[in-house]
Amino acid sequence: MTANDVTVIAEQAIFTIIKCAAPMLLVSLCVGLCVSIFQTVTSIQEQTLTFVPKVLAIFLSLIVMGHWILNNMVEFMTGLWNDFNLYVR
C-alpha cells in the first residue's frame, strides 16, 4: 500500500462524508434562516424557538434521505472491502 493509495481512500472517505452530511446541513441552514427571519419580523427573541424546528426538520430529512445515505456508505465500505487484498500487500 503506497501513500497514494492512502490519499485516494482518504479523499473518497471525506467526499462520502460530505455527500452524506450535506442534506441535513442544508435543511438545518434553511430552517434556521426561516426561523431567524420569523424572529426578526415578530421581535420574538426566544432561543429555544430555533432548536425544535431544526431538530424536527433534520429528523424528517433523515427519514426521507436515510436510504440514500445508507446506500452511499454501504457502497463506500463495499469498495474498501473488495479492494482489501490490494491494501494488505
Per-residue pLDDT tens over the stretch 74-88: 999 999 999 888 878
User: Which of 34, 64, 63, 60 minimizes the C-alpha distance to 49?
Assistant: 34
If you average pLDDT over residues 18-33, what whole number do you get?
95
Burial class of 40 by CB neighbour count within 10 A (0 to 12, 13 to 18, 19+) = exposed
Phi, psi of 6 (to 5 degrees): -65, -40
- This prediction's pTM: 0.78
Task: Identify which has the larger pLDDT, 85 or 33.
Answer: 33
3-state class of 46 per DSSP?
A: coil
